A and B are shown apart, each in its own frame.
Chain A
Amino acid sequence: MQPSELSSLDIVSAIRRGDVTAERVTTAFLDRIARLDRSINAFLAVDRDGALAKAAEIDRRRKAGQPLGALAGLPVAVKDVLCTADLPTTCASRMLAGFRPPYDAEVVARLRRADAVIVGKTNMDEFAMGGSNENSAFGPVHNPWDLDRAPGGSSGGSAAAIAADMAPASLGSDTGGSSRQPAGLCGITGLKPTYGLVSRRGLIAFASSLDQVGPMCRSAADCGLLMETIAGHDPGDSTSLDTPVPAYTQLLDQPLAGLRIGRVAAHFAEGLDPEVARGVEEAFAVFKAAGATIHDVELPHARYGVPTYYLVAPCEASSNLARYDGAHYGHRCGPAAGGGFDSPLVEMYCRSRAEGFGPEVKRRIMLGTYALSAGYYDAYYAKALRVRRLIRQDFLDAFAAVDVIGGPVSATAAFRLGEKTGDPLAMYLVDMYTVATNLAGIAGISFPCGFTKGGLPIGFQLQGPALSETLLLRATDRFQHLTDWHRRRPALPAT
């Protein structure tokens, strides 16, 4: 079997046993990137030399009998929203072209300490704002299942890299569905951990009360492996939870008997593609056959999730992105031209930001600035925060009766590139099943549960209470023992 076909868990144990060298594994994935990524565009930077040097170091240390980290030799692709001191970090924005972070994100530092091999930085929607990856300043990612279709977003590069076997594991980030939705559209497994479980230090901020880093891999078991390294308290992130991290991969193999899965009838209302609905219903049947019970639950404010999100997230973004001022790092415009600005400094701010940001980022900064401006704050931002409490309460009430809630990740399978780019609101609605998880701060996971007649993956989402990752990974792992959807691969040139 080619190294590029192995799971992350298998790669780590094969290297540890000496069945294969880290160098051979890394080379296999780098070669696939070199061959395939011209047509997929999943990577913004590939660190061939750095990755091979790290792999060689691991092989040397193994031969010398020195201790190895938990992820020794595992190639990992890192979303370009995470700071890497030795690699460019652009957030897929012209604003950060050429930026070199002075430090590694905490999760990147943890990967390095665990001896993972960082192969490159993945493409994304600019500043993680988007659901199709078409907002990247460096061109869209193409879905490996159909190159004319979007991979989803914003972590579309990470999802496509896994789907095309260009990496066995990746990190994404999820502010309103940005890991789960592309995982669903690319047929892989993506976890959105509980808010605060994974450090945000060095994660370039979009909406700080919603942002969370999560693993994107082929299977729940592989996601659990990454979580064991990246989760856990970080004193450098003031919202980091000080809670023990379970040994996720040791807790997977348990039966599902007695698991209570909630089903929300409103998820199946108008707007859900019939093929997606069928795939999701079949997944419920698989869970039921495995001993779970399915219960109707209601999330009465679910339909207010997207409007709430599109106030909270842009408001936080307009504040967070104020740091891009052309003074400290990032793009600065050319010499002053004058004309209507209060001072040369203000002109520099306004023109640098206008030149550096793309249209969707500008739109959200404008929306957030408007909603926070004098006279509108209470009507929009404070209102949204009140509804946010109602949305969270819906989940608390539902989880009194069920352990997890199942349903679709998105209303359709992967849509065509260009299909929604002219209509910002249509693009916002692709998040309709995922945003509430972030507003409530709870955990969610997305994984493949079937394919459309046209051969596109269908995603299933499980949402669970805060710190229910063990349960979500266990339920998904059971599902992945009973089905082989997560093993399917798109037709790409053979290795």
Chain B
Amino acid sequence: MSLSPADVAKVGVLARLALSPAEVEAMTRELSTIVGFVSQLDELDTSAIEPLAHPLDTRNAFRDDEPRPCLTTAEALQSAPRHDGECFLVPAVLGETGSA
């Protein structure tokens, strides 16, 4: 199993990582090796096995829906790269212009 540079570039877009051409090249090689390694799981016939997403038998943890203290706006914003005291500020969501 090997990945092409185009595969890696596409995954980079999905993962929201701006990869340099050198990173795409290195990642193509490394991910192909790793994907080849993990593909040894194909040796096992697991058609009758249920996936196990969580190691222990747990149930949903519910609590009563009542108000409790939570973070203040100031606390929630304290490490924000940009904010106006009320909201997080981000560049334009649509279109070509905007400021970071």
- Shortest C-beta distance, A73 to chain B (Å), equals 30
- Whether A268 sits at the interface, judged by CB under 8 Å, is no
- Shortest C-beta distance, A465 to chain B (Å), equals 11
Type the 1/0 row for A164-204, where 1 means its CB is closer than 8 Å to any CB of B. Answer: 00000000000000000000000000000011100000000
Contact present for B61 and A238 (CB under 8 Å):
yes
- Shortest C-beta distance, A357 to chain B (Å), equals 7
Please report which residues of chain A, range 290-326, place their CB below 8 angstroms from some CB of chain B when the two chains form the complex: 301, 304, 307-308, 310-311, 318, 322, 325-326
Contact present for A385 and B53 (CB under 8 Å):
yes
- Whether A386 sits at the interface, judged by CB under 8 Å, is yes
- Measured between beta carbons, the chain A residues less than 8 angstroms from B11 are 366, 369-370, 373
- Shortest C-beta distance, A28 to chain B (Å), equals 34
> Size band of the A side of the interface?
35 or more
Contact present for B34 and A367 (CB under 8 Å):
yes
- Whether A72 sits at the interface, judged by CB under 8 Å, is no
Q: Is the interface of B mostly helix, strand, loop or mixed?
A: loop
Type the 1/0 row for B9-39, where 1 means its CB is closer than 8 Å to any CB of A. Answer: 0011111111110010001001101110111
Closest B residue, CB atoms, query A208: B54
Contact present for B41 and A308 (CB under 8 Å):
yes
Contact present for A362 and B23 (CB under 8 Å):
yes
- Shortest C-beta distance, B51 to chain A (Å), equals 3
- Whether A354 sits at the interface, judged by CB under 8 Å, is yes
Contact present for A366 and B17 (CB under 8 Å):
yes
- Bound together, the chains give a CA A318 to CA B56 distance in angstroms of 22
- Bound together, the chains give a CA A346 to CA B17 distance in angstroms of 10
Contact present for A441 and B56 (CB under 8 Å):
yes
Closest A residue, CB atoms, query B36: A425
- Given contacts A353-B17, A440-B55, A466-B56, are A344 and B49 in contact (CB under 8 A)? no
- Measured between beta carbons, the chain A residues less than 8 angstroms from B85 are none
- Given contacts A357-B17, A387-B41, A424-B34, are A241 and B56 in contact (CB under 8 A)? yes
- Whether B75 sits at the interface, judged by CB under 8 Å, is yes
| Interface pick from A124-132, A134-142, A329-337 | A329-337
- Whether A392 sits at the interface, judged by CB under 8 Å, is yes
- Measured between beta carbons, the chain B residues less than 8 angstroms from A384 are 38, 41
- Bound together, the chains give a CA A311 to CA B88 distance in angstroms of 34
Closest A residue, CB atoms, query B89: A327
Contact present for A439 and B79 (CB under 8 Å):
no
- Measured between beta carbons, the chain A residues less than 8 angstroms from B58 are 196, 239
Type the 1/0 row for A193-231, where 1 means its CB is closer than 8 Å to any CB of B. Answer: 011100000000000011000000000000000000000
Contact present for B78 and A102 (CB under 8 Å):
yes
Closest B residue, CB atoms, query A355: B18
Question: When the two chains form the complex, which single residue of A195, A370, A390 contacts B56, counting CB atoms closer than 8 Å?
Answer: A195
- Bound together, the chains give a CA A102 to CA B78 distance in angstroms of 8
- Bound together, the chains give a CA A281 to CA B9 distance in angstroms of 49
Closest A residue, CB atoms, query B97: A344
Contact present for B100 and A102 (CB under 8 Å):
no
Which residues of chain B have a CB within 8 Å of any CB of chain A? 3, 7-8, 11-20, 23, 27, 30-31, 33-35, 37-42, 44, 46, 49-56, 58, 60-61, 63, 71, 75-76, 78-82, 88, 90-100
A-B contact pairs, 11 of them (CB 8 A): A194-B56, A195-B55, A209-B54, A238-B61, A239-B58, A351-B18, A362-B27, A370-B3, A370-B31, A383-B46, A385-B52
Shortest 7 CB-CB contacts between residues of A and residues of B: A441-B55, A385-B51, A344-B91, A344-B98, A332-B81, A329-B79, A386-B46
